[in-house]
Amino acid sequence: MYKFLSYISINLFIFFSFSQSVSIKGIAPSYVGSTIKVYSISDYLSQFENLITSSKIKRDSTFSLTFDIKETQKIIIQCKNNKGFIYVQKGGLYNIFLPRKDKYDPYRKTGNNIEISFIELDSSDINYKILGFQRWIDHFIGNNFYIKNVEPEKFAKNLDRFKLNVERAYQNDNSNYFKTHVKFSIASLDNIQTLSERSRYEKHDFYIKHSPIEYNNEAYMCYISDFYQNMTPILSENVYKKLDAGIMKGSPTLIMKALGGDYTLINLRIRELIMINLLSEEYNKNNFPKKNIETILDSLSNKCLFKAHEKIAKNIKNRITQLLPGSKAKEIIFKELGKTSEVKIQTSQGKYMYIHFFNPENEENKKEILILNDLFLKYKDYVKFISIYNRDNSISKNSQEIIQKIPWNVYGISESNTIWKDYQIKNYPQYTLIDETGHIVASPALSPKPNGNYETIEKTFFYIQRLLNMRQ
């Protein structure tokens, strides 16, 4: 009995050590009745976002969200088409305000980046620390950057003094996430060209060589991405030849051996991570066959030397192949509400397909359906129209009536369906155009309404109509 209780206690300890709740509440007067969503960043190379949780904003403009995290991280908060970010730490309690837009930004129908405000924030919280540190950096740059070219020696001395003051100020801080953030924010400042600037190898030895990989730390991953960006031109001729041979043979092992010839890639874990990033960079440069790169990333998605890289390889492969013109469109498979059988929408129907993702509760979206209807009547013999909305959001009687009057196929699909990620739907309305063989023509595609260059999808439809008429 005692052993059993001890077993439970140990497991509960492990669970709470690795996962703790975060609670966010706040007010959003500009978003009453809308759904607020929280996303985590899957990895900082692919920049894929994963939905964590969502909630409705009440009539009194308040909302609350609770979810579990395993470590301090950055999250994206989105409502309607607008998004902002905050950092969260285990056990964190946050009270925030969501503005309609930032004060000096013009309103954009496609969505604005917003600066989320905190209503009370403890000085031990990660946001408090990062905001304070960022103000310090901004103050230094504002007071010193103008002398960089006029008085380079003075700028170099001031930068060195600033870095020393930062190190002293935070040396006793107990947050690993924050200390890593500080270190690699300072490392980015070290990229400013000065008389005392470190060489590439010195930067590697000082910042990278002895630091653990912090996959979930934005400052670290941004520095790593910048440091190893566009690697192939700076590889030695011998290393490049071996890299070329490895890619042509579709062999991750040979590529790893080749990259081991570069001093800044002596760390095996870093090397495998950068190999994945290098392959993604080379994909659209046409230096290597795309099929080979896809095959290598497929292999790495299933087996890497380091487990954490398998997810990154998979995300990168999806990122470079999904929704690019010419890539195969994903089939749309879902279950209708209250039914057990699946509905499958084939994307290769021998006819062009125009997929319309929309929010039936949004007034601008409703108006666009009227324009879309005119296009449907004109081009329905040449293009198949499909509209899709998130059925998990509550829909008013008026909006339901509008949906029922749409003369083409309309589907309500659950938010948990992969379609929203497969087609990278973040804003409404959004469109995807697929050709007769099921390949992406454009995603996002032009809309029925003119964009900033006065372009609409109708010109594309006209050419499709002319092409198909010529074939007959």
More confident residue, 324 or 156: 156
Average pLDDT rounded to a whole number, residues 135-150: 89
Interval 332-370: pLDDT, tens: 899 887 777 788 888 877 789 999 999 998 888 999 999
Measured CA distances, 10 to 3, 70, 224 (Å): 10, 17, 37
Please report the pLDDT score of residue 232 as a whole number: 94
Please give the torsion angle defined by the CA atoms of residues 169, 172, 176 and 177, in that order, rounded to the nearest 10 degrees.
Answer: -30
81-121 pLDDT, tens digit each:
789 999 999 999 999 999 998 877 777 666 788 999 999 99
Answer whether residue 11 shows pLDDT above 60. no
Domain boundaries, the chain: 17-120, 128-215, 232-321, 332-471
Look up the CATH number of domain 17-120: 2.60.40
pLDDT of 247 reads: 97
Q: Is the peptide bond prior to 407 cis by the omega test (within 30 degrees of 0)?
A: no
Comparing 150-154, 377-381, 409-413, which segment has the lowest mean pLDDT?
A: 150-154
pLDDT recorded at residue 191: 79
pLDDT of residue 347: 80
Is 63 a residue whose pLDDT tops 70?
Answer: yes
Query: Topology of domain 332-471, per CATH?
Result: Glutaredoxin (3.40.30)
Res 460 pLDDT > 60: yes
Q: Which of 326 and 83 is assigned the larger pLDDT?
A: 83
pTM: 0.77
Percent of the chain with pLDDT over 90: 65
- pLDDT above 80: residue 197: no
pLDDT value of position 112: 83
Q: What is the pLDDT of residues 254-284, one digit of tens each?
A: 999 999 999 999 999 999 999 999 999 998 7
